[in-house]
């Protein structure tokens, strides 16, 4: 580390920058939670410091808003997405990172291209398709869409992890007489574990946060996912901000806790996927 | 690099497994070859079925729909081909050129510019902080990143909401606006201003963390040499930092561009964004409203195709960048 001269600018500038960053990033989060807990927020706005702490908005969204059911729906769809996306993307990542075959580059380019497809382009034909198959309003139908949405990024990220496992480790397993499948279970899988964790988190968050498909496909009010369920508390002119912020808090906090717990792996997952390509 | 990173694992086995006789070796080699040839495809098939069935096929369908007049019938729908009429209407109308495209393009450019600049500044800041503050700041930007687009949007709407929103009240108390009469969401510019803050708040952490990862790979000696040569911080940034991690900047810029062109939820959920205020349409929202609010799937599909083509051009630039930066094993 080089010795830096401490100038006046850096002595004042750094703390100011840190404070500005903390306010910009955390104030919306604070505002959401504080409104959710503020007893006044059902009738009128909230103040910088809440006038008290109450859980009535949370009770309201569970009792009157059926939000427990929506959270459960989101969890079911999320877990189905993780399980399928992790397995499928790992197989595909091994194929493109470890084998030479014809059309390998074409497959990779297709993965990149489908990653950019806007959801609004897919939602129209998929809605028509799902309606014709009578798969609207079905958690299974929604999960299948989310698996597809999370696959390209998952394959792209995991490919970096598989490629980073040294060839020699695999070769050593073969020399010891292991079959390919044995090598896969005992050598490759443990080594790409962190990548698999990162990919699963992204798949889960894709499903948990997604709005467009859930809003379009799920019209029965007991089939909403949590991200769509907030919508019912939100009116264009008369919004009760307490329940909206309480349900927003319920959707946001699990994701935030997840992020903070796994942020190191998240970083390396992105680095492997986005930076190294 | 190509040969070390990509080769088929099982090829080493024949040399280490003793073969009993020549005929067996020949059969084993043939079997090996078949396995080597089919195994990547066996591994790929499940993913390919999902990708083709749910992403590529619908994309073809949306192209087909955009050339049709699609009527919803009982128990299904029916399309009749009408040629390029939807595109003709779209491309000759004022709405696309005066509202939808400017909203889409200027909004995306503003978001990308601010996201990349802010993300880079935050990465440089994190790089200079001690371990404790670095952790505190990292966790706080993770919080911004983790906030789902849906809930983040509700919070920004709430902050700017007329009358009792926090920011409306602050602006009122310093005399900037009259909170009773000002509605930020009815006019294009403030509407997209709020959407921009929302998207940048959600998007800059990705840039910050990726650029920080890049910064850590630059050898410290380069900066020491620069300092000895008398380069100031500004010169060191442009002459050392930027050239060293140019690929990182390219990738985060292009990815942000792709994401910001297809912003939907953040605009759709804002007051007026779901159709009641045509002034704030962007391409994605316009397509969705035509299809689902007006049951005009053909026009919606045509707008979706336009957006897809726009993104395809950006993606091609992205792929070429990846190739050029020495994507040895693509």
Residues in chain B: 330
User: Looking at A23-32, A186-195, A223-232, B137-146, which range is the least confident one?
Assistant: A186-195
**B252 vs A: CB within 8 A:** yes
> Nearest residue of B to residue A247 by CA position?
B151
Cβ contacts (< 8 Å) between B273 and chain A: which residues?
Answer: none
Asked if B10's CB is within 8 angstroms of A45's CB, the reply is: no
Contact assignment for B143 to A236 by CB distance below 8 Å? no
What pLDDT score does B12 carry? 42
CA distance B86 to B319: 31
What's the pLDDT tens digit per position in B297-328?
999 999 999 999 999 999 888 888 877 765 54
Min Cα separation A227/chain B (Å): 7
* B149 shares a domain with B18: no
Whether B26 has its CB under 8 Å from any CB of chain A: the answer is no
Count CB neighbours of B288 within 10 A. 25
- Given A28, A132, A152, which is nearest B147 (Cβ)? A28
Residues in Cβ contact with A15 at an 8 Å cutoff, skipping those fewer than 6 apart: none
Q: Residue A141 to residues A73, A97, A133, B150: CA-CA distances in angstroms?
A: 12, 31, 10, 21
Mutation target to probe the B interface, by most B beta carbons within 10 A, among A121, A202, A266, A272 is A121
Residue of chain A whose Cα is closest to the Cα of B260: A118
Nearest CA in chain B to A31: B155
Pull the structure tokens for residue A273: 């996927």
Res B19 pLDDT > 60: no
Binary contact (A108, B213; C-beta < 8 A)? no
The verdict on a CB contact (< 8 Å) between B166 and A110 is: no
- Would you state the pLDDT for residue A269? 52
> Which residues in chain B have Cβ-Cβ distances shorter than 8 Å to A113?
312, 315, 319
Helix locations, A38-133, DSSP H: 56-63, 67-98, 104-116, 119-132
pLDDT band at B22 (very low <50, low <70, confident <90, very high): low
Instruction: Tell me whether residue B13 is in a domain.
Output: yes
Looking at the complex, report in whole angstroms how far the Cα of residue B193 sits from the nearest Cα belonging to chain A: 15
Instruction: Check if the beta carbon of residue B316 is closer than 8 Å to that of residue B100.
Output: no
Cα B231 to the center of its chain, rounded Å = 36
Backbone angles phi, psi at B69, to 5 degrees: -100, 105
Residue A235 burial by Cβ neighbours in a 10 Å radius (0-12, 13-18, 19+): exposed
Question: How many A-B residue pairs are in contact by the CB < 8 A criterion?
Answer: 329
Comparing alpha-carbon positions, the chain B residue that sits nearest to A236 is: B271
A30 pLDDT tier (thresholds 50, 70, 90): very high
Same domain, B163 and B261: yes
Contact in structure between A46 and A38 (CB atoms under 8 Å):
yes
Contact partners, residue A22, CB within 8 Å, separation at least 6: B136, B137, B140
Q: Which residues of A touch B145 (CB under 8 A)?
A: 259
pTM for the structure as a whole: 0.87
In the prediction, which pLDDT does B170 show?
87
B17 and B115 together in one domain: no
**Residues B234 and B281 grouped into a single domain:** yes
Nearest to A152 by CA among A184, A213, A107: A107
Pick the CATH number of A58-271 from 1.20.1420.30, 2.130.10.10, 3.30.43.10, 1.10.3720.10: 1.10.3720.10
Is residue B78 situated within a structural domain?
no
CB-CB contact of A157 with A198 (8 Å): yes
Burial class (CB in 10 A: 0-12, 13-18, 19+), A243: buried
What secondary structure letter does DSSP report for B76? E
**A112-139 residue pLDDT tens:** 888 888 998 999 999 999 988 888 999 9
CB contact under 8 A, A251 and B297: no
Residues B117 and B29 in one domain: no
Q: With 80 as the cut, is the pLDDT of residue B16 above it?
A: no
Pick from A166, B28, A182: nearest CA to B11: B28
Residues B103 and B230 in one domain: yes
Residue A251 contacts residue A162 (beta carbons within 8 Å): no
Structural domains in chain B (count): 2
Give the C-alpha distances (Å, rounded to integers) separating B228 from A97, B221, B225, B232.
44, 10, 5, 10
In B, residues 146-175, which contact A (CB 8 Å cutoff)? Answer: 146-152, 154-156, 158-159, 161, 163-166, 169
For residue A254, the chain B residues in CB contact (below 8 A) are none
CATH of the domain at B140: 1.10.3720.10
Single out the residue of A207, A244, A174 nearest to residue A80, CA to CA. Answer: A207
Is the model's pLDDT at B295 over the cut of 60?
yes
Predicted-complex ipTM score: 0.87
Pairwise CB contact (< 8 Å): A21 & B122: yes
Q: Classify residue B121: in a domain, yes or no.
A: yes
Q: Is the CA virtual torsion A48, A51, A52, A57 positive or negative? A: negative
Mean pLDDT for chain B overall? 87
Q: What is the DSSP letter of B96?
A: I
| The pLDDT value given to residue B27 | 83
Beta bridge partners of B79: B70
From the list B159, B209, B271, the residue facing A267 with the nearest CB is B209
Selected for mutation to probe chain A from B9, B127, B138 (highest A CB count within 10 Å) is B9
H and E: helices and strands count for chain A:
12, 0
Torsion of CA A72, A75, A80, A86, to 10 degrees: -170
User: What percentage of chain A has pLDDT greater than the value 70?
Assistant: 88
**Is residue B54 located within the same domain as residue B133?**
no
Tokens of A54: 């109450």
CA A204 to chain centre: 5
Examine the domain organization and report whether B43 and B91 are in the same domain: no
Residue A210 backbone zone (phi > 0: left; psi -120 to 50: alpha; other: beta): beta
Average the pLDDT over each of A26-30, A223-227, B11-15 and give the range with the smallest value: B11-15
Cβ–Cβ contact B144 with A under 8 A: yes
> 10 Å Cβ neighbour count for A206?
20
| C-beta atoms of A91 and B46 within 8 A | yes
Cβ A160 vs Cβ A276: under 8 Å: yes
Q: Which of B35, B66, B97 is the last residue of a domain?
A: B66
Tell me whether residue B190 is in a domain. yes
**DSSP 3-state of B70:** strand
Residue B213: its chain A contacts at CB < 8 A? 267, 270-271, 275
Question: Is the same domain home to B250 and B301?
Answer: yes
For B:171-200, CB contacts with A below 8 A are none
Residue B255 Cα to chain centre, angstroms: 5
What is d(CA B48, CA A91) in angstroms, rounded to the nearest whole number? 11
Nearest CA in chain A to B41: A95
Q: Please answer yes or no on whether A98 and B292 come within 8 Å at the CB atom.
A: no
User: How far is the alpha carbon of B202 from chain A, nearest alpha carbon, in Å?
Assistant: 9
Residues B37 and B114 grouped into a single domain: no
Kindly report the backbone phi and psi dihedral angles of residue B290, in degrees, each rounded to the nearest multiple of 5, phi listed first: -55, -45
CA A212 to chain centre: 15
**Domain limits for position B10:** 2-66
> Which residues fall within 8 angstroms of residue A105, CB to CB, at 6 or more apart?
B330
Return the structure tokens found at A152: 């390209």
Calculate what percentage of chain B has a pLDDT beyond 70.
90
Q: Quick check: B192 and B104 in contact, CB under 8 A?
A: no
Contact with chain A for residue B119, Cβ under 8 A: no
Q: What is the pLDDT of residues B170-211, one digit of tens each?
A: 888 888 888 778 899 999 999 999 999 999 999 999 999 999
Q: Are A182 and A173 in contact (CB under 8 A)?
A: yes
Q: Where are the domains of chain A?
A: 8-53, 58-271
Helices (H), chain B: 2-5, 13-16, 22-51, 57-65, 85-92, 94, 101-128, 131-146, 149-160, 166-173, 188-215, 220-228, 233-236, 242-244, 246-261, 265-268, 283-288, 297-324
pLDDT number for residue B150? 96
Instruction: Give Dmax (Cα) for chain B.
Output: 95
The CA distance from A127 to A218, in Å, is 10
């Amino acid at each position: 580390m080089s010795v830096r001269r401490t100038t006046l600018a850096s002595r004042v500038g750094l703390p100011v920058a840190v404070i500005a960053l903390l306010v910009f990033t955390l104030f919306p989060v604070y505002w959401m939670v504080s409104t959710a807990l503020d007893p006044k927020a059902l009738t009128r706005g909230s103040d910088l410091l809440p006038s008290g702490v109450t859980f009535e908005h949370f009770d309201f969204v569970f009792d009157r808003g059926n939000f427990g059911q929506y959270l459960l729906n989101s969890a079911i769809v999320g877990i189905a997405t993780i399980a399928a996306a992790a397995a499928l993307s790992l197989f595909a990542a091994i194929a493109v990172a470890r084998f030479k075959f014809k059309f390998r580059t074409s497959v990779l380019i297709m993965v990149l291209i489908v990653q950019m497809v806007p959801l609004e382009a897919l939602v129209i034909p998929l809605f028509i398709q799902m309606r014709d198959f009578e798969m609207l309003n079905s958690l299974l139908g929604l999960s299948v869409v989310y698996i597809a949405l999370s696959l390209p990024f998952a394959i792209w990220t995991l490919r970096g992890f598989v490629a980073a496992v040294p060839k020699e480790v695999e070769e050593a397993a073969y020399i010891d007489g292991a079959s390919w499948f044995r090598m896969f279970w005992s050598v490759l899988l443990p080594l790409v574990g962190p990548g698999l964790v990162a990919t699963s988190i992204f798949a889960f968050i894709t499903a948990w946060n997604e709005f467009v498909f859930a809003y379009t496909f799920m019209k029965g009010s007991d089939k909403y996912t949590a991200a769509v369920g907030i919508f019912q508390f939100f009116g264009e002119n008369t919004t009760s901000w307490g329940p909206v912020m309480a349900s927003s808090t319920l959707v946001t906090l699990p994701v935030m806790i997840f992020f903070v717990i796994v942020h190191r792996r998240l970083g390396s997952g992105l680095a492997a996927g986005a930076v190294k390509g | 690099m190509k040969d070390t990173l990509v080769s088929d694992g099982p090829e080493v086995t024949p040399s280490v497994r003793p073969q009993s006789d020549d005929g067996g070796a020949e059969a084993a080699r043939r079997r090996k070859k078949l396995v080597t040839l089919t195994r990547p495809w066996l591994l790929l098939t499940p993913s390919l079925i999902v990708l083709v069935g749910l992403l590529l096929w619908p994309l073809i369908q949306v192209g087909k729909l955009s050339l049709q007049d699609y009527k919803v019938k009982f128990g299904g729908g029916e399309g009749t081909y009408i040629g390029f009429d939807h595109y003709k209407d779209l491309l000759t109308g004022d709405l696309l050129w005066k509202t939808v495209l400017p909203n889409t393009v200027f909004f995306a450019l503003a978001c990308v510019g601010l996201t990349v600049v802010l993300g880079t500044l935050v990465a440089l800041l994190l790089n200079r902080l001690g371990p404790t503050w670095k952790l505190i700041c990292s966790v706080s930007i993770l919080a911004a990143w983790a906030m789902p687009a849906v809930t983040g949007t509700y919070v920004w709407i709430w902050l700017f909401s007329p009358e009792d929103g926090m920011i409306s009240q602050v602006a009122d108390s310093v005399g900037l606006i009259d909170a009773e009469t000002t509605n930020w969401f009815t006019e294009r510019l403030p509407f997209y201003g709020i959407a921009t803050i929302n998207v940048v708040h959600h998007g800059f952490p990705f840039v910050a963390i990726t650029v920080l990862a890049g910064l850590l790979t630059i050898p410290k000696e380069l900066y020491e040499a620069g300092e000895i040569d008398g380069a100031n911080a500004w010169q060191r940034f442009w002459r050392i930092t930027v050239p060293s991690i140019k690929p990182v900047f390219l990738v985060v810029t292009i990815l942000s561009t792709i994401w910001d062109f297809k912003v939907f939820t953040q605009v759709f959920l804002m007051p007026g964004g779901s159709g009641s205020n045509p002034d704030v349409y962007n391409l994605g929202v316009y397509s969705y409203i035509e299809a689902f609010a007006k049951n005009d799937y053909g026009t919606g599909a045509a707008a979706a195709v336009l957006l897809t083509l726009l993104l395809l051009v950006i993606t091609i630039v992205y792929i070429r960048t990846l190739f050029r930066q020495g994507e040895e094993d693509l």
